[in-house]
Amino acid sequence: MAIVTRFPPSPTGYLHIGGARTAFFCWLFARRRQGRFILRIEDTDVERSTAESVQAILDGMAWLGLDYDEGPVYQSKRVDRYRQVIGQMLQARQAYHCYCTKDELEQMREQQRSRGGKPRYDGRCRDRREPRPGIDPVVRFKNPKAGSVVIDDLVKGRIVIRNDELDDLIIARSDGTPTYNFTVVVDDMDMGVTHVIRGDDHVNNTPRQINILAALGAQVPAYAHVPMIMGADGKRLSKRHGAVSVTQYRDEGYLPDALLNYLARLGWSHGDQEIFTREEMISLFDIREVHRNAAVFNPEKLLWLNYEYMKSADPGDLKEQGRRHFQAAGIAIDAQDNWEQVIRANQERSKTLVELVQRSAFFFRQPDGYDDKAVKKHFKGEAHAVLAALIQSLQSLADWEPAAIHDCVHSLAERLGLGLGKVAQPIRVAVAGVAVSPPIDETLAILGRDQTLSRLRAALDFIDQDNAGTVG
């Protein structure tokens, strides 16, 4: 069977990580079985749908590398089709006009409640033939009265719902617009969806959707309802728990593969393996193995995983992924001759791309100034002598490469009778503006002779002036 999955977000906010996980599961499922993956934008709620949300969804999908074989399909462009199916169902008496007013419905529910029953529509307009003047009717689906709907959910197992627990669902509002449960059904049918993978907040919609699909003579897809993601406090994940939008993780410097890896592991496992390549996930992921209980989101673990990805990433990939972050810091990374060395020297120390940019920036441009604390701590005492002597020896260094620079710094420390820290730290502050950098020999080698010497000289001047200021 050819597999077709779909991800149908409603564009009423950003793409949140719960949605991204669902999208990823759909994508993995389709990719593993050479199926098709459809992106559908469920934008029939015009009041709540926005163009920005659509863009955030498209950006999020692109950033995560979740490519689709069809779409984006916009439901707002399919309204004629929905109307057509509603007409067809009315004609076949699978649906009917309901003229009940709000007051009537309220009264009906009140009576049901007072009798201790569940409030729901009792089907009183089912057999009405005459319209009621002055009322624009809604359209309701004639839900079967007898029997049960059986769902063999791929995650939750068998779910059985008796039809007498379901009432006649409104499929078109009084202004003629179709409702959510109906548009989903028509789309899933028209698009030949074979597997519906979605959050378990939709599980109550499923029996209704199955009944409508059956009425339309459509193939009923398989369903997999994926448990929600919770915060550490056991509440549904929300802004209170930190970042929940995919683009926010992008902006904070996470790698898309690390985020996807983390999301896949939320509620799915394969032995104790934590790190999976995309290809591994495609070949190993099975929707049937998704755990039944809710998963707890752990931002520290995500950060740890991102760090693991940062350390082992190819510098070229980090340049690609990091371009927007370098740009935000005013650095045109593609124009830097030494980008690869710089990234290589810093990636093992950077938990995120944002941190990578912070640590790398001084290689590409002179720091604006020196960190106050670092100045107080490291530009005192012998620092002046260290920098002056270093300039002397580096000027005449034959080969500008790490081993030679290493020897030079070490012999200087020996000559001055100083510990290595006392030598290396003022150099760091001089070239980086702060007291952190990769190993000093590697740092100077990457910076190049001219930049190194000019920054060391500028630091000497700074110390001179600083001293003059203190004395004066």
Q: Which residues bind ligand GLU (CB under 6 A)?
A: 8-10, 42, 184, 198, 202
Query: How far is CA 382 from each of CA 22, 377, 388, 419, rounded to the nearest angstrom?
Result: 60, 11, 10, 11
Query: How far is CA 410 from each of CA 345, 388, 398, rounded to the nearest angstrom?
Result: 21, 15, 16
End-to-end Cα, the chain, rounded Å: 86
Smallest gap from Cβ 28 to ligand GLU, in A, equals 16
430 φ/ψ sector (left φ>0, alpha ψ -120 to 50, else beta): alpha
Tell me whether residue 195 or residue 198 sits nearer to ligand GLU (CB atom). Answer: 198
Instruction: Measure the CA–CA gap between 268 and 12, rounded to whole angstroms.
Output: 28
Which residue number places its CB atom closest to ligand GLU? 198
CA 217 to chain centre: 37
Smallest gap from Cβ 184 to ligand GLU, in A, equals 5
The position carrying tokens 């990823």 is 24
Structural contact between residues 8 and 187, judged by C-beta atoms closer than 8 angstroms = yes
Smallest gap from Cβ 76 to ligand GLU, in A, equals 13
Helix axis angle, 420-432 relative to 402-416, nearest 10°?
120
Smallest gap from Cβ 197 to ligand GLU, in A, equals 8
Instruction: Measure the CA–CA gap between 453 and 441, rounded to whole angstroms.
Output: 14
Catalytic residues: 239
Tell me whether residue 39 or residue 259 sits nearer to ligand GLU (CB atom). Answer: 39
Structural contact between residues 227 and 294, judged by C-beta atoms closer than 8 angstroms = yes
Tell me whether residue 29 or residue 309 sits nearer to ligand GLU (CB atom). Answer: 29
Instruction: Measure the CA–CA gap between 225 and 154, rounded to whole angstroms.
Output: 7
Smallest gap from Cβ 241 to ligand GLU, in A, equals 19
Tell me whether residue 23 or residue 100 sits nearer to ligand GLU (CB atom). Answer: 23
Tell me whether residue 68 or residue 96 sits nearer to ligand GLU (CB atom). Answer: 68
| Single-letter code of the amino acid located at 60 | G
